[in-house]
Amino acid sequence: MPDARKSLLQLREEWRGCMRCPLGEKRETSNGRMVFGEGVPGGILFIGEGPGVNESIEGRPFVGRSGSLLRNAINKLGLAHCSYISNVVSCRSFGPEYDNAGQLRTRFNRRTGTHDIVLKDEPPPAAAVEACLGRLYEEIYIVDPILIVTLGGEAIKALLRRSVSVKELRGTTVEIRVPGVWTVPDLTSKGNWSRKQHGQVIWPTMQNYVRYLTYIAFHPSYVLRDGANEAFGNPKQRFIEDMHMITDIYYRTLKEVHGIDGVRLTQLIPDDIIEED
């Protein structure tokens, strides 16, 4: 069956230098980099909100403090061989930081001798989420994971296409529907699978949709911020539970749905999975 799925490299090339939303201009004026997903396709796809300052400098997802928390947990649970990490938007969303008096915060830059405006990460605007959704859908479709894990509210909202409370849904699974790239062969009016166009044989195809099992988890930055705070439901403990559940669901789905007896790299769950190295 013909399959119009692109490669991840092709997708990355198509979005290189993207200016489809205002974050593209911010990226260019701040000398930031677009952050594409990375990892091993076909297993667990972790989706966060968007790159922060460290990610924008390095051009890689989840390389800051919250990234090291996530990558540490993935490594300690032996999931690195089947994990891919990406974000809802590919460019950093940020704005100026203000103090309590409403004044712009500045920081003295010894190198240039100037006072630079302090910038802070911000949730991506709705227009950016919408503009980047095509890239995310296609990335999901190419990665074709057994299990998607959304990290934080922005990712699950973008995929469900509605406003949700991640505190209420955390720890549950839903099914999300991703538009496939034209992959289902379409018969011509004469009952043929192929037809000639401009002297070339083409395989007409129809749009299809793919359903993906999706686990809803907290974002690691929330875990870092509110840690063991009981008033917030102890996010650190919930994150550990999430990582255990994700591992179990992945191996169970691999076996029951795909008939693959995956070799678990860790049988025992270490209790220090989120301690930083």
Residues of the shown chain interacting with ligand SF4 in the complex, contacts defined by CB under 6 A: 15, 18-21, 23-24, 34, 89-91, 128, 131-132, 135
Nearer to ligand SF4, 51 or 235 (CB): 51
Instruction: Show the tokens assigned to 195.
Output: 């037809």
Provide the minimum distance between the beta carbon of 21 and ligand SF4 in the complex, in angstroms, as a whole number.
Answer: 3
Closest-CA residue to 136 (of 150, 123, 122): 150
Sign of the alpha-carbon torsion through 149, 151, 153, 158: negative
| Terminal C-alpha separation, the chain | 46
Provide the minimum distance between the beta carbon of 228 and ligand SF4 in the complex, in angstroms, as a whole number.
Answer: 34
Q: What is the rounded distance in angstroms from the CA atom of residue 117 to the CA atom of residue 255?
A: 53
Provide the minimum distance between the beta carbon of 92 and ligand SF4 in the complex, in angstroms, as a whole number.
Answer: 9
- Which residue do the tokens 């008096």 mark? 101
Provide the minimum distance between the beta carbon of 89 and ligand SF4 in the complex, in angstroms, as a whole number.
Answer: 4
Q: What is the rounded distance in angstroms from the CA atom of residue 117 to the CA atom of residue 102?
A: 13
Nearer to ligand SF4, 19 or 228 (CB): 19
Q: What is the rounded distance in angstroms from the CA atom of residue 256 to the CA atom of residue 246?
A: 15
Provide the minimum distance between the beta carbon of 43 and ligand SF4 in the complex, in angstroms, as a whole number.
Answer: 24
